[in-house]
Structure 1
Amino acid sequence: MEERLRTLETALEERDAKIRELQNELDMFRQVVRPLTSVMTSTCVHCGMAPLAPGGARIQAPRKQAISAEPTHNQVLASPTKTPKSIK
């Protein structure tokens, strides 16, 4: 029973060490990615990424109003007219 307990404690210590190691790697990765992402989004207008607020939350883009190419019910459709090329 004592040996099983020691084995489990050793496994737990190894797991905790691995978690600390991975957390350190994640922290280093974030130190590189966050500044790089902010540089990319501030210089690239057409990159398609939503900008980040100072807290890291995404900023919502303003909603765009749709424009329909179809005539409304009040508009009367005029028949097309032909114009000779010499007049253009």
Structure 2
Amino acid sequence: MALVHLVGSRGAADVLVCEVPSRAAADLLVCKVDSRNPARGNDGLWCFVDSRAAASSLVHIITSRGAADLLVCYVDSRAASGWRRDHPLKGRL
């Protein structure tokens, strides 16, 4: 499930994410959605939520690719979203 809550510190995060500009460099292509329903069970569709309790993942954005658990590139299309390669976090967001 990709109900994402952004947290301000590394220690509070489940996942450290680095946003990359290139699809080729990304582990996951992410399409931001406004509704929670399409995001449930789909790692490539992220719905940002205000509540930690409602979130399936607590994410902290970092700038270092080497320190990141996950590299993401944002896309405009739901059809283009999804995993680009096998990853340990697949199905865990």
Q: Larger relative contact order (C-alpha < 8 A, sep ≥ 6)?
A: 2
Please give the range of the TM-score, normalised by the shorter of the 2 chains: under 0.3
TM-score normalised to structure 2 length:
0.20
Larger radius of gyration: 1
TM-score normalised to structure 1 length:
0.21
The structure carrying a bigger helix percent of its residues is 1
The structure carrying a bigger strand percent of its residues is 2
